[in-house]
A and B are shown apart, each in its own frame.
Chain A
Amino acid sequence: MSIAKILEIALKTGRVTRKYPYEPPLLTSEFRGAVRIDPSKCWGCGACVKICPPNALALRNSGKEATLEYFVGRCIFCGMCAEVCPAKAIEVTKEFELSSTSLENLKSRVIHRLTRCSSCGSLVWTEAELKSVVKSSPIAEEYAVLCPKCRKSKFARAASIRIGVGSE
């Protein structure tokens, strides 16, 4: 009787129900869960914010501080942010048990102090980004602390002095 075959199959298979959460969940080595941003590495460059498809990441600027906020409630665990991060500050974890009774618990923030242009006082960007730029590229610190506009005019002035043309 082939209708009774199912009994044989069941007997052979045994029980497949897992006693989760008393048993560990089945996760493969490739599983992508929530991401974690390492505040000590992040520059606040915003590349991750730009790529994030569901807007789970946001960069807010209060004038003094720039805040990178990660709201796991919107995250689709795609890991694109980790892929584009120039500072390798984002790690894709295997966390997925994320429910919480408070919305705040679903948010994490990295706060960056902003620097101002040493010449005109307008906003440049985060201190962390500044430092890493100085570290990684051959740019003199006196230029790096300037906003792009002042940087340009300072460079023009310096260049013109060097080639002997009077400025203005």
Chain B
Amino acid sequence: MKDEVRTIVEKIGGVVEEVKKSEIYVRIPQQTVRTAARLLYDSEAYFKTCVGVDEREVNGFYTIYHIFGLDSQGVDIVLKVLVPEEDPQTSSIVSEVPAADWCELEIQDLLGIKFGGRLTKRLVLPEDWPDGVYPLRKEFRYDEKPSRVIREELHEEAGIPVGPYHPALHEPEYFELYVEGEKVVDVAYRGFHVHRGIEKLAESPRFTYKQVPFLAERICGICGFVHSTCYIMAVEKAADIETPERAEFIRSIVLEVERLHSHLLWIGVAAHLLGYDAGFMHAWRIREHVMVLAEYLTGSRKTYGINVIGGVRKDLNVDKIDKTMKTIAQVREEFKKLADALLSIPQIKSRAVGTGVLTKSEARALSVVGPVARASGLYRDVRKDYPYLAYGRVSFRVPLYTEGDNLARLLVRVEEVFESIEIVKQLVDLLPGGSVVVEEYDIPPGRKAVAAIEAPRGEDVHFVITGLGRPYRWRVRAPTYQNIPALRAMLRGTPLADAPLTIASIDPCFSCTDRVLVVDIETGRKSFIKLVRGG
């Protein structure tokens, strides 16, 4: 433990249960969790997520893990709080750490633990789910289907509906925009229409350690490789499996290839939202080179399927390296021209400047991640802060802007395309020899690990507790989960015409986030007057 970290840990108090290279587990009593959280937040720690685990058969308690990331030290501090079975409640940390809002409500819905000292509402489960049935408790079978409860409609819809199937967003989600004239004054969000319960599935007898990567890869249709890698990294960390260096390099290369395709996709969509369809078509045309490269490297354009515990299934050879270098050189050249053209379109500048602003302090309070954070002046990038896989071996720049508007987020992504290309180049140059997979390994039960990866949309966090033959608990926190709450701040005061762009500017991935369900409707909100009313 570094001295700085030790001082912080000592200040928190509690029992240090486990110290690993990049994780420190501290068990603290329920009464002090709030002060501990405050202390960590004041020590520049970001909030990553919280996890509720039914560990009754292990230690007789429900356990809550609050994961804090000390970015400056590259260390995660995990606060562990035990909640007794007979009195499942604990105190909330939302007042100190606003970013903990969603995950606490998620735990409440799925595990049935009440959080004192905060506003609570049903969040995760659909409205017709019966009360008192908690799917993440171990006694709940993964294929159980509780009977529906018909409830009265809780609210009436008002305002400008954007969703659930909005042409601009192509994913099921629902925003309700309250407008004055053409200015958005407030926002209600409701998502999670496509909750798939995969965390439960992965710990069910239906799955094994070896199969989960394929499930994880399907969390997201755009950056699935991030999820399979992150899951595998967590398992490998927990079980101390040494992956061959060459495999780590290949994973890093594929991760950057995935980022290229993801950013190019997003830039195209942003152009389309701004009515510049030529930008859309050309961005996707360039992206096609990346897709073909991905297929050549992995066997599939998307959901690459090459990740296994202990390494990767496909090695690189001379031809593949050659094709990689050629493709990224071509993408670089073509994208340079397109980016110049795109940024010279007057409407793009005038509509992206000053719209959807997220200030640095708001960004900090919500612990936002990825390009959203970097566009609001937070220097955060998992690749730099917690160098994983081969990222410690390459040098690259982290684009940083302070304006926090849609243009800043656009520019961050444009620059990251070039940085990714540089990273791939360096990785290919440094590619070590050797095998790409270890076949023999052993995953003892009861081990824990946090893994994080810089996905195209920001930090992706996976937390694993190992079990017998499969994870005992696997928690996924996708980047969008952390960024959606910031939309409310971003959309207020934005012209309605720029709302779709603003929503899209966090590069939302609703299906990643939708492993759980969120409703954000406060009864008080209805007092807002619908200023634009049809008919």
B-binding residues in A (CB < 8 A) = 2-3, 5-6, 9-10, 13, 16, 26-32, 51, 53-54, 76-80, 83
Contacts and interface: CB of A to CB of B under 8 A. Distances in A.
B215 A9 contact: no
Interface string B269-288: 00000000011001001001
B299 A30 contact: yes
Contact of A16 (B288, B297, B303, B341): B288
Contact of A3 (B285, B299, B345): B345
Contact of A30 (B210, B218, B295, B340): B295
A95 to B, nearest CB: 14
Given A2-B340, A32-B299, A16 B285 contact: yes
Nearest to B314: A30
Contact of A28 (B285, B288, B296, B341): B296
B305 A32 contact: yes
B300 interface: yes
B185 interface: no
Contact of A53 (B215, B288, B299, B313): B215
Contact of A9 (B210, B214, B218, B337): B337
Contacts of B210: 51, 80
B338 A30 contact: no
Given A6-B282, A9-B338, A13-B285, 6 more contacts: A3-B344, A9-B337, A16-B288, A30-B295, A30-B314, A78-B214
Contact of B296 (A30, A78, A79): A30
20 contacts: A3-B341, A5-B341, A6-B278, A6-B279, A9-B282, A9-B338, A9-B341, A10-B278, A16-B285, A29-B296, A30-B295, A30-B296, A31-B295, A31-B299, A53-B215, A54-B214, A77-B305, A78-B214, A79-B299, A83-B313
A53 B211 contact: yes
B292 interface: yes
Contacts of A27: 295
Contacts of B299: 30-32, 79
B344 A2 contact: yes
B341 A30 contact: no
Contacts of A77: 300, 305
Contacts of A30: 295-299, 314
A2 B341 CA distance: 6
A35 to B, nearest CB: 12
Interface in B360-402: none
A54 B299 CA distance: 18
Most chain B Cβ neighbours within 10 Å, of A26, A51, A78: A78
A108 B270 CA distance: 44
Nearest to B345: A3
User: Shortest 3 CB-CB distances between A and B: which pairs?
Assistant: A53-B214, A2-B344, A28-B296
Contact of B340 (A5, A13, A53, A79): A5
Interface in B250-309: 278-279, 282, 285, 288, 292, 295-300, 303, 305
B214 A76 contact: yes
Nearest to A1: B344
B215 A5 contact: no
A76 B305 CA distance: 9
Interface in B173-220: 207, 210-211, 214-215, 218
A28 B303 contact: no
Contacts of B288: 16
B305 A28 contact: no
Contacts of A16: 285, 288
A5 B337 contact: yes
Given A2-B341, A6-B278, A31-B299, A79 B305 contact: yes
Contacts of B305: 32, 76-79
A11 to B, nearest CB: 12
